[in-house]
């Protein structure tokens, strides 16, 4: 699936200091009935964002005007549960390009990377610092530098290095996906089958 | 020669190419698809002008969305019907075998694969569904993938994956009375947490594991994903070979002998090295039940809800949020709590042995008046077997009705939704907030524990009746 290239991003961030945020929360199953990849952002965190009568729940961070930005910061073990790629689509569609946590579930991490979202893993201590920075200033700016694999809290200048597979980094930087690459391997695959 | 684990042996023989600084290109032997995670993959394929490379290696069935009553009628919910029809259309267009609603081969995708003998030892198997790990019970590498990867497999019969780390979980000793594979799974996840297996592929071993039937092994491997692992597997043995032999797609005649010889080599070498090792004693496991909102929040049924003492910061907040959702208080006794619904089914516990255990338990008893029960076979074949064995009569007499196959209340994408605030003892695999319907409260347990709750109307230790 085509997505925009990613190089660096400077943005404020939305905090979600909850652990084990599973994909059923990111996008509840009843919203998986589409046959196209459209409009998933509206249902991102649906049951945390809206009450039964579809009224926004005031204290949920996505509903608070003071929080904004293209970076989502979540508690540890983000994205556990179902393999639904709709979770990544919903996050991208809503407008996030980076998700930061101290720990990601495997399938979610892969799905994010396949959809132009950069998952940034930082230490639990650094994660606390990010939450603290947002707490001190809701508009605190963060810089995500993919080339140098660095995440910086602009206000304090503190930064953390993050790792990313070099191949995936290349894909993200150039907006490429695996599928074209695999299709180009046709002959090698045919040879393997023998 | 370097000692290898079971995982290494299968993985290494499926590497088409190692990408520099990147993941490996892995060849996929079997690909299952269903209606929810495949439509966008087919769309993507068409946009690229690509074809399905090996249609004969993909098998399709609609399961997530389908109603579990009146399956002969057209699906009422328009969006669900559209998804199911789209799958059918895509399969027809690309030459993929499709097991439609009401046909002999229909069922939850992870139930029909093993049933037909499509799932075999030594294979690589994927599906756009995390519980693909179920197939690992046969000594296969089986794991869930996202929709982009579904598209990759359709287009190239390969996916790109970094090689995971390897974990060994041994459970030794004799299982206690009333303890099933489901209880082993919930126990292990409670011990190592829902992220304990992240980055790893698990091999289960030990005498307690070997003593499990194929169906029990499927239940265990099914739940391996809930500890965060990519998947779980068990080395194939005589139990495995006996199960596969004679099934529709199993090798026959000479081919069987040849394949069997290969399957017998599929085990970890004695000196193979695992990145992480856990050992558990079967004697410590009792029937389990969950009290919170992730599968790691499980305890022995005789225990009380743990306190948050020792938790700090976000851990404590998350724990409190979870108990609040469940309407439970720290220190509460689990046994005796009122319940409202019982769901028996899903790819975790929707096979014939699960319904036998449930039926045997409720035989001669009556469903409690305060309980609504949904008894949902995992497949058409399971449904037919339930009828053939006379279990329906036992169920009916005890006040239970049999529904038709599908995922049902496991994820509540169809009409089988648990109402807000209600408690559901469920044999499925996830107790996340809202998993069984907005506001629903899920208590994961084995079919035995579900049966005990169904006849008493409250959380009950099944051992009282055994
Ligand atoms: S039964 Fe539940 S876990 Fe299994 S495939 Fe269906 S929805 Fe997924």
Residues A30-70 have pLDDT tens digits of 999 989 988 899 999 999 999 999 999 999 999 999 999 99
**Among B386, B393, B399, B388, CA closest to B356:** B386
- For the record, the structure tokens of B382 come out as 């399971």
Q: Which residue bears the tokens 């724990």?
A: B319
DSSP state string for A85-106: THHHHHHHHHT--EEEES-B-H
Distance of CA A162 to the CA centre of its chain: 14
Using a CB-CB distance cutoff of 8 angstroms, which residues of chain A are in contact with residue B162? Answer: 165
Ligand 1 centroid, distance to B413 Cα (angstroms): 10
CB-closest option in B16, B144, B156 to A183:
B156
Q: Which residues line ligand 1 (CB under 6 A)?
A: B 63-64, 108, 110, 129, 131, 346-347, 407, 410-411, 428-429
Closest protein CA for atom 4 of ligand 1:
B347
From CA A190, how far away is CA B12, in angstroms rounded?
17
Helix axes B352-362, B447-456, angle to 10 degrees: 30
Write the CB contacts of B296 (distance below 8 Å, at least 6 apart in sequence): B189, B190, B193, B194, B226, B227
CA B195, B324, B428, B74 torsion: positive or negative? negative
Distance of CA B310 to the CA centre of its chain: 33
Q: Is A179 in contact with B155 (Cβ distance < 8 A)?
A: yes
Write the CB contacts of B134 (distance below 8 Å, at least 6 apart in sequence): B110, B114, B142, B218, B221, B222, B347
Question: Over 60: is that where the pLDDT of A4 sits?
Answer: yes
What are the backbone angles phi and psi of residue B172, rounded to the nearest 5°? -115, 155
- For residue B428, give the ligand 1 atom closest to its CA: 2
From CA B430, how far away is CA A102, in angstroms rounded?
23
pLDDT digits (tens, 9 = 90+) for A100-129: 999 999 999 999 999 999 999 999 999 999
Question: Over 80: is that where the pLDDT of B1 sits?
Answer: no
Interface check for B311 against chain A (CB to CB < 8 A): the answer is: no
- Residue B20's pLDDT band (cuts 50, 70, 90): confident
What are the backbone angles phi and psi of residue B90, rounded to the nearest 5°? -60, -40
The CB density around residue B464, as the number of other CB atoms within 10 Å, is 10
pTM above 0.90, yes or no: yes
- For residue B345, give the ligand 1 atom closest to its CA: 1
Q: Is B48 in contact with A183 (Cβ distance < 8 A)?
A: yes
Interface check for B222 against chain A (CB to CB < 8 A): the answer is: no
Alpha carbon of A183: minimum distance to chain B alpha carbons (Å): 6
Using a CB-CB distance cutoff of 8 angstroms, which residues of chain B are in contact with residue A112? Answer: none
Gyration radius (Cα) of chain B, Å: 21
Q: Which residue bears the tokens 């087919």?
A: B42
Coil, helix or strand at residue B240:
helix
Alpha-helix residue ranges (DSSP H) falling in B107-167: 109-115, 147-156
Q: Is A83 in contact with B430 (Cβ distance < 8 A)?
A: no
From CA A61, how far away is CA B65, in angstroms rounded?
31
Ligand 1 centroid, distance to A152 Cα (angstroms): 40
Coil, helix or strand at residue B346:
coil
Whether B250 and B259 have beta carbons less than 8 Å apart is answered as no
For the residues B312-334, what does the mean pLDDT come to? 94
Q: Is B22 in contact with A179 (Cβ distance < 8 A)?
A: no
Question: Over 90: is that where the pLDDT of B313 sits?
Answer: no
From CA B72, how far away is CA B66, in angstroms rounded?
11
- For the record, the structure tokens of B68 come out as 């579990």
- Residue A2's pLDDT band (cuts 50, 70, 90): low
The gap between the terminal CA atoms of chain B, to the nearest Å, is: 50
Q: Where are the beta strands (DSSP E) in chain A?
A: 8-11, 13-16, 71-74, 98-101, 118-121, 142-145, 150-153, 159-161
For residue A1, the number of C-alpha atoms closer than 13 Å in the C-beta half-sphere is 26
DSSP-assigned letter for residue B176? P
Alpha-helix residue ranges (DSSP H) falling in B23-172: 39-48, 78-94, 109-115, 147-156
What are the backbone angles phi and psi of residue B276, rounded to the nearest 5°? -140, 140
Arithmetic mean of pLDDT over chain B:
97
Residue length, chain B? Answer: 466
From CA B172, how far away is CA B170, in angstroms rounded?
6
Whether A31 and A86 have beta carbons less than 8 Å apart is answered as yes
From CA B205, how far away is CA B225, in angstroms rounded?
17
From CA B181, how far away is CA B191, in angstroms rounded?
15
For the residues A77-100, what does the mean pLDDT come to? 95
Give the pLDDT score at A194: 87
Q: Where are the beta strands (DSSP E) in B175-331?
A: 200-205, 231-234, 276-281, 288-290, 298-300
The most distant pair of C-alpha atoms in chain B lies apart, rounded to whole Å, by 64
Helix axes B39-48, B78-94, angle to 10 degrees: 40
- Residue B126's pLDDT band (cuts 50, 70, 90): very high
**Best probe residue, ligand 1, of B223, B345, B407, B409 (max atoms within 8 Å of C-beta):** B407
Ligand 1 centroid, distance to A40 Cα (angstroms): 21
Dihedral, CA atoms, B404, B406, B410, B416, nearest 10 degrees? Answer: -50
pLDDT digits (tens, 9 = 90+) for A125-177: 999 999 999 999 999 999 999 999 999 999 999 999 999 999 999 999 998 88
For the residues B151-166, what does the mean pLDDT come to? 96
Q: Is A107 in contact with B130 (Cβ distance < 8 A)?
A: yes
- Residue B314's pLDDT band (cuts 50, 70, 90): confident
Burial of A44 (0-12, 13-18, 19+ CB in 10 A): buried
The gap between the terminal CA atoms of chain A, to the nearest Å, is: 30
Closest protein CA for atom 2 of ligand 1:
B410
The CB density around residue A42, as the number of other CB atoms within 10 Å, is 13
From CA B126, how far away is CA B115, in angstroms rounded?
17
DSSP bridge partners of B458: B338
**Best probe residue, ligand 1, of B33, B36, B62, B63 (max atoms within 8 Å of C-beta):** B63
Gyration radius (Cα) of chain A, Å: 17
Dihedral, CA atoms, B372, B377, B378, B380, nearest 10 degrees? Answer: -150
- For residue B410, give the ligand 1 atom closest to its CA: 2
**What ipTM score was computed for the predicted complex, to two decimals?**
0.89
pLDDT digits (tens, 9 = 90+) for B51-79: 999 999 999 999 999 999 999 999 999 99
**Backbone dihedral region for residue A31 (phi beyond 0: left; psi -120 to 50: alpha; all else: beta):** alpha
Q: Is B194 in contact with A33 (Cβ distance < 8 A)?
A: no
Helix (H), strand (E) at residue A130: helix A124-136
What are the backbone angles phi and psi of residue B421, rounded to the nearest 5°? 80, -10
Q: Is A166 in contact with B21 (Cβ distance < 8 A)?
A: yes
Question: Over 60: is that where the pLDDT of B111 sits?
Answer: yes
From CA A33, how far away is CA B377, in angstroms rounded?
23
The CB density around residue A185, as the number of other CB atoms within 10 Å, is 17
Write the CB contacts of A148 (distance below 8 Å, at least 6 apart in sequence): none
Question: Over 60: is that where the pLDDT of A1 sits?
Answer: no
From CA B27, how far away is CA B15, in angstroms rounded?
6
């Amino acid at each position: 699936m085509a997505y925009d290239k990613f190089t660096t991003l400077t943005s404020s961030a939305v905090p979600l200091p909850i652990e084990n945020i599973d994909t059923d929360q990111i996008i509840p199953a009843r919203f998986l009935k589409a046959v196209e990849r459209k409009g998933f952002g509206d249902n991102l965190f649906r049951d945390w964002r809206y009450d039964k009568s579809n009224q926004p729940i005031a204290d949920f961070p996505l509903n608070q005007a003071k929080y904004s930005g293209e970076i989502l910061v979540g508690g540890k073990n983000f994205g556990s549960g179902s393999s639904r790629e709709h979770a990544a689509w919903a996050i991208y569609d809503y407008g996030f390009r980076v998700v930061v946590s101290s720990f990601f579930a495997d399938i979610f991490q892969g799905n994010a990377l396949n959809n132009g979202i950069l998952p940034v893993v930082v230490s639990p201590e650094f994660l606390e610092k990010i939450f603290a920075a947002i707490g001190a200033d809701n508009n605190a700016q963060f810089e995500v530098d993919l080339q140098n694999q660095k995440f910086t809290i602009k206000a304090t200048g503190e930064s953390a290095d993050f790792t990313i597979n070099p191949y995936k980094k290349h894909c993200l930087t150039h907006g490429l996906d695996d599928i074209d690459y695999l299709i180009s391997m046709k002959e090698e695959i045919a040879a393997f089958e023998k | 020669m370097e000692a290898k684990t079971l995982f290494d042996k299968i993985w290494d023989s499926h590497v088409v190419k190692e990408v520099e600084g990147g993941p490996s290109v892995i060849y996929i032997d079997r690909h299952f698809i269903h209606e929810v995670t495949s439509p966008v993959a087919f769309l993507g394929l068409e946009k690229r002008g690509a074809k399905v490379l090996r249609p004969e290696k993909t098998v399709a069935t609609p399961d997530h969305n389908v109603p579990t009553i009146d399956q002969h009628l057209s699906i009422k919910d328009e969006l669900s019907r559209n998804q199911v029809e789209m799958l059918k259309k895509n399969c027809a267009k690309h030459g993929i075998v499709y097991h439609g609603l009401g046909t002999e081969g229909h069922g939850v995708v992870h139930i029909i694969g093993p049933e037909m003998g499509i799932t075999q030892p030594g294979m690589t198997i994927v599906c756009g569904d995390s519980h693909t790990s179920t197939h690992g019970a046969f000594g296969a590498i089986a794991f869930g993938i996202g929709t982009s990867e579904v598209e990759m497999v359709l287009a190239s019969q390969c996916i790109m994956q970094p090689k995971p780390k390897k974990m060994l979980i041994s459970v030794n000793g004799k299982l206690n009375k009333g303890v099933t594979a489901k209880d082993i799974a919930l126990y292990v996840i409670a011990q190592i947490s829902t992220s304990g297996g992240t980055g790893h592929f698990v091999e289960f071993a030990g005498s307690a594991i070997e003593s499990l039937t194929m169906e029990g092994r499927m239940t265990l491997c099914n739940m391996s994903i809930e500890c965060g692992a990519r998947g779980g597997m068990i080395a194939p043995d005589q139990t495995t070979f006996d199960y596969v032999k004679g099934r529709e797609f199993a090798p026959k005649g000479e081919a069987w002998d040849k394949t069997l010889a290969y399957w017998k080599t599929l085990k970890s070498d004695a000196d193979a090295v695992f990145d992480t090792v856990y050992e558990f004693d079967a004697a410590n496991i009792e029937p389990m039940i969950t009290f919170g909102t992730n599968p790691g929040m499980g305890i022995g049924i005789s225990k009380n809800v743990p306190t948050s003492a020792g938790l700090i910061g976000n851990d404590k907040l998350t724990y409190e949020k979870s108990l609040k959702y469940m309407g439970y208080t720290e220190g509460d006794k689990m046994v005796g709590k009122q319940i409202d619904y019982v769901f028996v089914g899903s790819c975790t516990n929707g096979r014939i042995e699960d319904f036998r255990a449930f039926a045997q338990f409720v035989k001669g008893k009556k469903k409690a008046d305060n309980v609504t029960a949904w008894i949902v076979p995992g497949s058409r074949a399971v449904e037919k077997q339930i009828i053939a064995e006379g279990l329906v009569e036992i169920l009916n007499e005890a006040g239970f009705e049999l529904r038709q196959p599908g995922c049902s209340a496991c994820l509540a994408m169809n009409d089988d939704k648990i109402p807000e605030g209600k408690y559901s003892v469920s044999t499925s695999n996830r107790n996340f907030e809202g998993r069984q319907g907005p506001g629903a409260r899920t208590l994961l347990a084995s079919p035995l524990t579900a049966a005990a709750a169904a006849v008493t109307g409250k959380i009950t230790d099944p051992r009282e009746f055994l």
